[in-house]
Amino acid sequence: MPEKPKVAFYWCASCGGCEEAVVDLAEDILKVVEAVDIVLWPVAMDFKREDIEARPDKSITVSFINGAIRTSEQEEWARLLRKKSAFVISFGACANSGGIPALANQSAREDILKYVYEDCPGVENPAKSRPSTAHAEEGRALTLPEFRGMVRALDEVIDVDYYLPGCPPTPKLIQGAVGALLAGNLPPKGTVLSPDVALCDQCKRKDSKPADLSIKEFKRPHQVQIDPEKCMLAQGLLCMGPATRAGCEALCPGGNMPCTGCFGPTSRVRDHGAKFISSVFSNLAAREPGEIDAALDGVPDPVGTFYRYGLAKSLLRRKITAGEGK
């Protein structure tokens, strides 16, 4: 009997939602398990790093890696899996472009550590002690990963073959990727495995989106009763559909919530947030400074709104302070 393809799943700086997405394949996961040998899946199975280190290089058919890279351990695992795998798929928004963890790039490393270990309400740490990478106590030695100066996307650390977008990727996209790999029916290296068109193309509300939106004010979903039929941008809600790649079948607009941009941009866009800002603010009805300020008051967290998933890969990338290391 021919050997089954070997598959690894790994998580770096991740919420675990991408792992849930694999489980969400429901009964189809059994087809995957039948067709492949899973050689690593820390969330579900007990494999050790030594098991992977002992494998010949390129002997894993494909590694699906989700989560961004923040610590030395995450970088080591990404490099190890790259060495041992024929293909690496960057799985989900955090791996693809930093995702939610990369919002921490708005703060310098020292500021994060100071807040978490000293200033955060509820922290009792008069010695102002911090975790160190090496610690010895009562004859026992403990090593911890290094907390790096910034959050990076997976392809800023290792070479990546394909990208599955989404927060998390949908079961349909995951099935499509696994099916293409098993059939050897692979697109060119570097392809994002999702249609390269804007989400508005897949949205049932698109016919109600006027050519000139003339937005007077921005509203947040909890502040209004959202009309379930009408384009959300036309209702003053910041829906990132015009600047975001399709492939989720407009799940969020279908559920009466604006798109927050988790599929990232299409291939023609360099900076996802900047593209959306330029598109939406050119549709602002306000012309006078006072009116513009009033409209901007409706966007209390611009970075969290426009760069929620892509700060690490944006032109802004991170906050830098004098003396801050890598």
Sites of contact with ligand SF4 (CB under 6 A):
14-15, 17-18, 66-67, 92-94, 99-100, 167-168, 199-200, 203, 205-206, 209, 231-233, 239, 241-242, 250, 253, 259
Q: 259 or 311, CB closer to ligand SF4?
A: 259
Q: 5 or 145, CB closer to ligand SF4?
A: 145
How far apart (Å, rounded) are the C-alpha atoms in residues 208 and 80?
A: 49
Closest residue by Cα to residue 277 from 228, 226, 314, 235: 314
State the minimum distance, in angstroms, from the CB of residue 173 to ligand SF4.
12
Q: 185 or 225, CB closer to ligand SF4?
A: 225
How far apart (Å, rounded) are the C-alpha atoms in residues 244 and 269?
A: 9
Tokens of 90: 């960057």
State the minimum distance, in angstroms, from the CB of residue 233 to ligand SF4.
4
How far apart (Å, rounded) are the C-alpha atoms in residues 32 and 202?
A: 28
Q: 86 or 226, CB closer to ligand SF4?
A: 226
Q: 193 or 232, CB closer to ligand SF4?
A: 232
Q: How many other CB atoms are there within 10 angstroms of residue 15's CB atom? A: 17
Q: 55 or 279, CB closer to ligand SF4?
A: 279
Q: 149 or 168, CB closer to ligand SF4?
A: 168
State the minimum distance, in angstroms, from the CB of residue 39 to ligand SF4.
21
State the minimum distance, in angstroms, from the CB of residue 96 to ligand SF4.
8
State the minimum distance, in angstroms, from the CB of residue 198 to ligand SF4.
8
State the minimum distance, in angstroms, from the CB of residue 154 to ligand SF4.
11
Q: Tell me which residue has its CB nearest to ligand SF4.
A: 241
State the minimum distance, in angstroms, from the CB of residue 268 to ligand SF4.
17
Q: How many other CB atoms are there within 10 angstroms of residue 183's CB atom? A: 8
Q: 104 or 203, CB closer to ligand SF4?
A: 203
State the minimum distance, in angstroms, from the CB of residue 195 to ligand SF4.
14
